[in-house]
Amino acid sequence: MLGCLTKVLVISLVGFFSLRPVEIVAADFKQEVIYQIVIDRFYDGDASNNDPPQSAGLYDPERKNWRAYWGGDLAGIQQRMSYLAGLGVTAIWISPPVDNVNVRKTSEDFVAPYHGYHARDFKTIEEHFGDASNSWKAFDDLVAAAHQSGIKVIVDFAPNHSGPITTDENGALYDRGVFLGSYDQDVNKYFHHNPSLSDANDRYQVQYYNLFDLADIDQENPVMDAYLKAAAQEFQRHGVDGFRLDGIKHLTAGWTDTLVNSIFSFGDSFLFGEWYLENVYENPLVWDYALGNSIYSLGKETLFRESYPGNISDPLYPDAQRLANRTGISLLNFPLNTAMRDVFGSDADFSAIDSVLTSEAEDFTSDGDLVNFIDNHDLPRFLSIKANNNRLHQALALVMTSRGIPCIYYGTEQYLHNDTQGGSDPYNRPMMTSFETTSTAYQLINKLSSLRHNNPAIPYGSMTRRWMSGDVYIYERTFSGSVVLVAINKNETSATRIQHLNTTLPPGTYSDYLGGLLTGSAITVGSENGQNWIADLTVAPHSVSVWQFAADQGGPEIGSIGPIKGQPGVRVTIGGRNFGATPGSVNFGATPAPIVSWSPTRIVCTTPSIENGIYEVTVANWNQVSNRIQYTVLTAKLVPVTFTVHNVATRPGEYIFITGNTVELGRWAETWDGAIGPMLSPQYSSRVLTVSAPASQTIRFKFIKIAANGTVTWRASQDHEYTVPASGTGQVDLNLQN
Ligand code: NOJ
């Protein structure tokens, strides 16, 4: 675990100056409050990097051209660290800081990659954000300052593509300044050469075609595989605590799984992905994703223009859900985002939110890890769709107290918005103008962040609806005897009176945890026949009340495990309550795991050396045993293996899957969720699929055909055998007569 050692070292060097060194464990992120920053638009802390020589002319000192660099940088974020700590933020997610293309797009208006999504070198830092040598210095200083303030750092990592093929750089990639290849000089086949994606429901296109005009990297090319994984590791070495994985629907799930495994094999981390859901119905706001970042050629913009983000009925939603459940990556919660914008931003009933939360609780193994947000850099800011601060406060309160990890888009706490063109990209990325700490939104986030740290019902608890109407939503979070009850009324004028509301809060009187900040009130809880209830509750117009009880006793209870799988030796973090001050044991099935560290609320252990499979993990102390949580012990480190089969015949609605003998291959499962697939169809009679397979193992596998309704319609008569390489990437090419 060289990575962990390095990280400890980084922290302890930093810790020399530190008041409150950050806890290095990142795999349990449920207690965090994330703050999303577009580096260029936050704060200019170093004027010397505004117009660097290698990419001169991409900076607009007047900040009138919304597609130019405006001067924000890593030093600027560092200088605003106490503002962030005061807000209650415990993690920052920064836009991609890596070196981006240096030239303007030739054929169109001025555009600059100020957003960071057009990488040219994944291993150096962009000169506009750091210094003209593309060194890591400003990045290291930022991480050190953040950790000193108890704030973790998440980087946005975009391995799907490099820059646009429509600039003179032509998607060129460098490894610490050394040229690797470009899209038009691709002798080593580092890129896929397909048209731009035109059908967002075609799995092969989504994964293998260019996203707009961005050079689509072939992650299964052994050089690219090693390069991208080494780049992620470089960030880990420089102390980052997590990754936001850009555009994961455009990567193969098999390769993504190996990236996740590579990151966790190096050190612990928190990973969440952007699986953009779309293609459902017309967006009344004309969401300008395609023009986003302003590099996409005309014509392609129509592709996403009429789509509406974040709907559970997106045909690829099940793929997103399976990826999260299988890899342990969390996802940005687009369905909840859509529902919240409908409920608070227009007139939808609270049932829209409630139904998303209910389906996600069924669909996701770790629904408490989903990252919830109101706005981001691809959507119009909330106040651009609804100019009403009360509604923004209510949405914020929901994000901060509902199940999942909250993520606040920079400036929300300052009511920052620009409504040009409906506030869509790039007008959703204004420069931060105020760093006042007095706004209601700032206070609200601060208070609810402390609640998150002080009451485990928020990070770990289940979520139960207690009462709901079109305008009022009352829900309860409970974990290990701790309770938080929240009542929101979004109606501007009418109060709602509720008689006899059941709760699990113990009998007593509770003041509003927000101290009336959002006109909340106190309650008294009574009890009869073992049932606790509030006799008479009036929920005032446009109010949010939060009542809470933090239990301080009870047996061990697990609320979180991260990662959700790993080979023997991979570090595992378990979060929860009442583990005890002195170590007991953590058992994977019947096997105790080696303990790395132990506290009453958090245990770190390593995956024991046991046979691959799915295990129930429990914590035991003082003869008390906790609840169970699942963990998959892998056979070995994961390596991407691409299977190609020819001579395949399927009828519409039938799909080829792979199933095999190890846990990685589904242990001969024959279901959509258990087997590996579906294989994708580049051409009529062939199928392709990248699978994450255990290194150096001889695996046995076969092909099956599963219909859309789940029925197995065919099983290959023959088992195949293949020895997975110890490292790099593997290829299997077979003829399939069926
Ligand atoms: C999604 C990002 O959020 C968006 O801003 C970016 O342009 C695309 N991925 C491509 O990287």
367 CB near ligand 1 (under 6 Å)? no
Secondary structure element (H or E) that encloses residue 546, with its range: strand 543-549
Q: Is 158 a pocket residue for ligand 1 (Cβ < 6 Å)? A: yes
Question: 3-state DSSP call for residue 70?
Answer: coil
Burial (CB < 10 A; 0-12, 13-18, 19+), residue 580, is middle
Q: What Cα–Cα distance (Å) separates residue 509 from each residue in 548, 552, 625?
A: 10, 18, 33
Any ligand 1 atom below 6 A from CB of 377: yes
Q: How far away, in angstroms, is 435 Cα from ligand 1 center?
A: 27
Q: Are 596 and 604 in contact (CB under 8 A)?
A: yes
> Among residues 73, 246, 342, 369, which one is catalytic?
246
Q: Name residues whose C-beta falls within 8 Å of residue 237's C-beta, 6 or more positions apart in sequence.
A: 3, 6, 7, 10
CA-425 nearest atom, ligand 1? 5
Q: Which one, of 568, 587, 543, lies nearest residue 444 by Cα?
A: 543
Helix (H) or strand (E) holding 303: helix 301-305
Give yes or no: 175 in active site: no
Q: Which of 246, 278, 307 to mutate to test the pocket of ligand 1 (most atoms within 8 A of CB)?
A: 246
Q: What is the pLDDT of residue 167?
A: 84
Helix H, strand E, coil C: the string for 46-68 is CHHHCCCHHHCCCECCCCCCCCC
| DSSP-derived secondary structure for 611-661 | -SEEEEEEEEETTEE---EEEEEPSS-EEEEEEEEES----TTEEEEEEES
Atom of ligand 1 nearest to the CA of 161: 11
Q: What are phi and psi of 700, to 5 degrees?
A: -115, 140
**602 dihedral zone (left: phi>0; alpha: psi -120 to 50; beta):** beta
Taking the CA of residue 276 as reference, the ligand 1 atom at the shortest distance is 1
CA dihedral 350, 275, 245, 262 (to 10 degrees): 120
Residue in the structure block whose two tokens are 């961005």: 214
Whole-number pLDDT of residue 390? 98
Q: What is the DSSP string of 305-362?
A: HT--S--TTSTTHHHHHHHHHHH--EEB-HHHHHHHHHHHHSS--THHHHHHHHHHHH
The enclosing H or E element of 496 equals strand 496-503
DSSP letter for 292, please.
G
pLDDT for res 109: 62
- Segment-wise mean pLDDT, segments of 10 residues, the chain, 738 residues: 36 33 70 98 98 95 95 98 98 98 69 94 98 98 97 98 92 98 97 92 94 96 98 98 97 98 97 80 33 29 41 86 96 94 94 94 96 96 97 98 98 98 94 97 98 97 98 98 98 97 98 98 96 97 98 94 97 96 97 96 97 98 95 98 94 94 98 96 91 98 94 93 98 86
Q: Hey, what's the torsion of the CAs at 349, 352, 358, 362, to 10 degrees?
A: 170
Residue 332 CA, ligand 1 centroid: distance in Å: 13
Distance CA 330, CA 94 (A): 17
Task: Residue 10: count other Cβ atoms within 10 Å of its Cβ.
Answer: 19
Structure letter (DSSP) for residue 446:
H
Residue of 73, 257, 274, 369 marked active site: 274
Could you tell me if 671 and 658 are in contact, meaning their C-beta atoms sit under 8 angstroms apart?
no
The set of residues, in sequence order, having a beta carbon less than 8 Å from that of 552 and lying 6+ positions away, is none
Each residue of 661-693: b (16+ CB within 10 Å) or e?
bbbbbbebbeebeebbbbbbbeeeebbbbbbbb
Task: Look up residue 463 and give its amino acid.
Answer: M
DSSP state of 298: T
Q: The tokens of 517 are what?
A: 């900040």
Is the CB of residue 328 below 6 angstroms from any atom belonging to ligand 1?
no
pLDDT for res 27? 80
Say which residues have a Cβ less than 8 Å from residue 178's Cβ, sequence separation at least 6. none
Nearest alpha carbon, ligand 1 atom 2: 246
Please tell me the distance from the alpha carbon of residue 266 to that of residue 233, in angstroms, as a whole number: 7
292 lines ligand 1 (CB under 6 A): yes
Regarding the beta carbon of 207 and ligand 1, being less than 6 Å apart is answered no
Told to judge if 476 belongs to the known catalytic residues of this protein, a careful annotator would answer no
- Between the CA of 288 and the centroid of ligand 1 the distance, in Å, is 12
Residue type, 150: G
pLDDT digits (tens, 9 = 90+) for 129-181: 999 999 999 999 999 999 999 999 999 999 999 999 988 899 999 999 999 99
User: Could you identify the residue written with the tokens 């792979």?
Assistant: 658
Phi (first) and psi of residue 576, to 5 degrees: 170, -150
Q: In this structure, which residue's CA is closest to atom 10 in ligand 1?
A: 117
Q: What is the spatial distance between Cα 51 and Cα 510, in angstroms, rounded to a whole number? A: 56
Cα separation of 321 and 341, whole Å? 22
- C-alpha dihedral (579, 583, 588, 593), degrees to nearest 10: 150
Measured CA to CA, the distance from residue 97 to residue 239 in angstroms comes to 14
pLDDT value of residue 670? 97
User: Diameter of the chain by CA atoms?
Assistant: 77
Does this model's pTM top 0.85? My answer is yes
Q: List, in sequence order, every beta strand (DSSP E) within 167-210.
A: 173-175, 178-181
In the β-sheet with 496-503, what is the strand arrangement from edge to edge?
496-503, 531-539, 523-528, 508-510
